[in-house]
Chain A
C-alpha cells in the first residue's frame, strides 16, 4: 500500500517525512506497548499507536520502523519530530481511534505481523 493512499484512508495529516509519501508498506503493527513493538522481527512496517511521546519515536528508531501513524490526533512535540527527521521517518496523525485506523487499513489490504 502506498503511504499516500494510507494517509487518505485514515484522514491523515503528515507531520514530517513527506518525501516518503510515495513509499510502500506491506505490514502494520498496532500497539501502545513499546516492549511489544520491540519484539517484532520484521522491518519496514508501519507502527499504529496512540502513544505519542519521545519513547514511541525512540522505539520506532530502534525497531527500524520507517512509518508511524498516531491515532486520535495526538500532539507531536518538536523533540519527537527532530528524532523522526534524523531517522528519515514519516509521521502521520489521524483523528480516528486506533481500532478504527486498524480496521480500515486491514480491510484495505495491510497485513498483520502476527
Chain B
C-alpha cells in the first residue's frame, strides 16, 4: 500500500494530520499497537519538523507485510550540522515552535530511537529527506 501526503511549512493547524491518517490505516491493518505507536511517534516528530523548519514537504509511506517505509522529503533550509541536530537538547526552532510544545531538541533523537533504520539526506539551502523504516 502506498500513501502520500503534502505538508505545508508553518501550518500548525494541520501538523499531525498525515500521522493521524497513517495511524488509522495501520489500525485497520491490525498492526500491533506497540509498533503503531513507534511508527506514529517517529512520523509525527518528522511531520512537525517539516511544519516547523521547511517551506513544504511530502510524506511517502509504503506499507508491506514486513513493515513500513517512510520517506519525508522537504524543501527548506536543510541541516547544516547533522551530528549536532542529532544531539538531545540542540534545536534551531523558533519561539512559535517552542510555544507549540516542540523545539527542545528531542525530535530527531526520538525518531532514531523508534526506528529500526533511520537516515538523513540533507543539502543546505535545498532541503532534507528522512528515511524511516520500522519492521512489524
Name A's B-contacting residues (CB within 8 A).
Answer: 32-39, 43, 51, 53-56, 58-59, 61-64, 79, 83
B-side interface residues toward A, CB under 8 Å?
12-13, 15-16, 19-20, 23, 33, 37, 40-41, 44-45, 48, 100-102, 104, 106-107, 110, 113
User: Beyond A38-B41, A39-B106, is A56–B19 a contact (Cβ under 8 Å)?
Assistant: no
Q: Which residue of A lies closest to B14 (CB)?
A: A54
- Chain B residue numbers with a CB within 8 Å of A34 are 100-102
Q: Is the CB of A63 within 8 A of B102?
A: no
Please tell me if the beta carbons of B33 and A55 are within 8 angstroms of each other in the complex. no
* B residues less than 8 Å from A83 (CB atoms): 20
Bound Cα distance from A39 to B106, whole angstroms: 9
Evaluate contact between A35 and B102: CB separation under 8 angstroms: yes
Cα separation A59 to B107 with both chains bound (whole Å): 13
Complex Cα distance, B17 from A61, in Å, reads 11
Total number of A-B contacts with CB less than 8 angstroms? Answer: 68
How far is B100's CA from A53's CA once the two chains are assembled, in angstroms? Answer: 7
A62-B41 contact, Cβ under 8 Å, with A35-B106, A35-B107, A55-B12:
yes
Nearest A residue (CB) for B91: A35
Q: A27 to chain B: closest CB distance in Å?
A: 15
Question: A64–B41 Cα gap in the complex (Å)?
Answer: 10
> A59–B104 Cα gap in the complex (Å)?
15
Besides the known contacts A38-B45, A56-B101, 9 further A-B residue pairs in the complex with CB atoms under 8 A apart: A33-B104, A33-B106, A35-B101, A35-B107, A39-B113, A54-B13, A55-B16, A55-B48, A58-B44
Asked if B37 and A32 make an inter-chain contact with CB atoms under 8 angstroms apart, the answer reads: no
Q: Which residues of B contact A63 (CB under 8 A)?
A: 37, 41
Q: In the complex, how many angstroms separate the beta carbon of B105 from the nearest chain A beta carbon?
A: 8
Closest to A34 in B: B101
Q: Is the CB of B37 within 8 A of A55?
A: no
- 6 A-B contacts (beta carbon < 8 Å): A32-B101, A34-B101, A35-B101, A35-B107, A54-B15, A62-B16
